[in-house]
Structure formats: C-alpha cells, structure tokens
C-alpha cells in the first residue's frame, strides 16, 4: 500500500517543539496528513514520518539557474501567439515582446516564459517551424537586453533546441515530456533544467470530460513517474520543477482539490510551479467573464499557493502580483 504525506503548513516565529522547515523555506509543519488510496486520511506527527519521506519534504531545494528557491519567484507569461486564451496577439512583434519583457522584469519577474503554441482548451497544433519562427527572434531580442532566466514553453525538441541556442535556460513542457520522445533526452544532453507539468489528454480535447480515480494522488503519481524517467536519462532532480497543471484536463472540482492539497507535491523533492493566472474557473468562481480582469482572483490563488510553499507563480499580471507578494511578505 503506497502512502503519501501532505504537510500541514504553518508560518510564524512561535514554532512549537518538533516543528520542521518545509523545503528550506520560512514555513514549517508539525504534522502531516497521511493519504492512501485504500484508507481514510489520518494525521501523523512529524516524528512518525519515515525519514526518507521527511527528507524530501524538508530538504532545502537547490538554486534553479541561479534563483534562490527559498523565496518565491514570479514567472511572467509572454505568448508569441495569435490565439492564446488571454493575451493572444499582444506580443507577436519583436519590439512589442521586448518592451513587454522589460516591463515584466522591471516589475519583479525573475523568469519569463515564452511560448509559440497556444495550449488553451481546443487549441490547434502548431508546426515546429512556425513555432520556432514565433519564439526564436523574441528570445534573441530579450536576451540581448537582459540576463533574466528565459523559459521556452514547448512540447517539441526542435523548438527547445532552437530556443536554447539563443539563450533560453529552462524548458517548460505542458505535456510532462510525453508528447515528443526526443525532448527529454535533449534536455538531459544539454543539461537544461525543466518544468514537468501534468496534463490529461491534449489541448484540443483535454476539457471534454476529464476523469480521475483520485486527482491529487493520480497527478502526484504521474509526476513521480516522469521524474524517475528524467533521472534515468541523466537529469538531476534538483533541475526539475513540477507543476500539477491546474486547468489542463481538469474540472473545477479537480482544480480545487489540487489547490487544497498543493503541499503534497513537496514530497517529490522538487520546486513547485503554480499556474492559475486568468483561468476559466477563476472567472467562474470569481464571477468575472473578462479574462484580463481576473487579476484579483488569480492573485488570491497565488497567495494561497505560496502559503503552501509553492516556489514559482506563473502569471500574466506581473506588477499586480509583485505588489501583492510584497505586502504578503511584509505581514508575515
């Protein structure tokens, strides 16, 4: 029977005896929720958590491309696409993308995620040559102006290779390295850090009727299996970021279950990325049909994720999110 441990995360200076840090951050826990597929959940004190599982939960995460994973980071979204669900067509030109990138960095983004293929529900496949033509010139222009970490948001090895050649330092694959069998070996060969995301199905069909036995544990098991696969290819775990894939082949109930249980994913021993910005369920629950007016709801979820120890927040609204994070940190 496989056992999972979800730390019950707390913060503040008055740490009781026996409290342990969460992944080297200024967050701590004294108990964890013990989950299995067969039995009801139980609460266990940290002293009774097996040492290997406790080590994964508590060990500080290594720096990622020079970024300190003991503090939160903002990943700004820069889509070089005509049809992305929220910002399609806004950053198609090199000059427009360069200006947007400079503004995001000035407002606090430490990572820029550049994509040339929309992964919104129902999106069509984009050929590799077209995706390269959309992203490579933007990465070249941005790299010439700033040394910020650039992530290439792609499922394809040729696109990743072209992006890496001009300055991208992270590969963010929404398919979790299941789409192109050449992508994971390429990243291992180049030693490029990666973001491993869970998605059920593909963008064209993922929201038709997503089904899970237990969404929290199913997503965890997928990510764990893919981490093992990447390690066998030669990628170090310290260079792998995990993303539960909110909104990618999930219903609203699935999304909420993952958000409530986010701290479980620290058990994978990797930094966690949370991408909820402007998504459909944010508009549904927040009663805001306009995609570009969903910053308040997106920030609320970002702060909820940070309270569970998430290290990277992927957002459209960088300035607003950065302001919220500064106030959140000051109060804490």
* Residues with catalytic roles: 279, 314
Q: How far is CA 134 from the centre of its chain?
A: 23
- Please give the distance of CA 228 from its chain centroid, rounded to a whole number: 18
β-bridge mates for residue 151, sequence order:
113, 170
**Are residues 198 and 248 in contact, defined by beta-carbon separation less than 8 angstroms?**
yes
Contact 111, 318 (CB under 8 A): no
Helix (H) or strand (E) run with residue 75 in it: strand 73-79
Measured between alpha carbons, how far is residue 171 from residues 94, 98, 224, 320 in Å? 21, 20, 18, 26
| Residue that is written with structure tokens 């001009």 in the block | 166
Residue 20 dihedral angles phi and psi, to the nearest 5°: -125, 150
Place of tokens 């997106």: 298
50: CB partners within 8 A, 6+ apart: none
Radius of gyration, alpha carbons of the chain: 19
């Amino acid at each position: 029977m496989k056992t999972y441990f979800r730390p019950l995360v707390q913060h503040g200076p008055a740490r009781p005896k026996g409290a342990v840090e969460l992944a080297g951050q200024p967050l701590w826990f004294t108990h964890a929720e013990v989950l299995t597929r067969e039995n009801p959940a139980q609460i266990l004190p940290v002293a009774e958590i097996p040492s290997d599982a406790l080590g994964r939960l508590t060990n500080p995460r290594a720096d990622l491309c020079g970024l300190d994973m003991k503090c939160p980071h903002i990943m700004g979204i820069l889509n070089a696409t005509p049809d992305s669900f929220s910002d399609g067509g806004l950053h198609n030109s090199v000059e427009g993308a360069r200006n947007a990138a400079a503004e995001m960095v000035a407002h606090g983004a430490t990572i820029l995620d550049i994509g040339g293929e929309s992964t919104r529900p129902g999106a069509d496949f984009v050929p590799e040559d077209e995706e390269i033509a959309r992203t490579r010139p933007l990465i070249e222009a941005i790299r010439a102006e700033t040394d910020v970490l650039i992530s290439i948001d792609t499922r394809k090895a040729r696109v990743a290779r072209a992006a890496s050649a001009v300055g991208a330092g992270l590969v963010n694959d929404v398919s979790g390295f299941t789409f192109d069998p050449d992508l994971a070996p390429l990243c291992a060969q180049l030693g490029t850090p990666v973001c491993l995301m869970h998605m059920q199905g593909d963008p064209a069909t993922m929201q038709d009727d997503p089904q899970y036995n237990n969404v929290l544990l199913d997503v965890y098991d997928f990510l764990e299996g893919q981490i093992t696969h990447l390690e066998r290819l030669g990628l170090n775990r310290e260079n792998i970021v995990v993303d539960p894939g909110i909104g990618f082949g999930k219903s609203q109930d699935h999304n909420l279950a993952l958000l409530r249980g986010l701290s479980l994913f620290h058990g994978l021993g990797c930094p966690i990325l949370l991408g909820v910005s402007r998504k459909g369920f944010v508009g549904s629950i927040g009663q805001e049909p306009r995609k570009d007016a969903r910053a308040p709801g997106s920030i609320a979820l970002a702060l909820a994720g940070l309270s569970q120890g998430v290290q990277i927040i992927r957002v459209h609204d960088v300035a607003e999110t950065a302001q919220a994070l500064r106030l959140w940190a000051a109060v804490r």
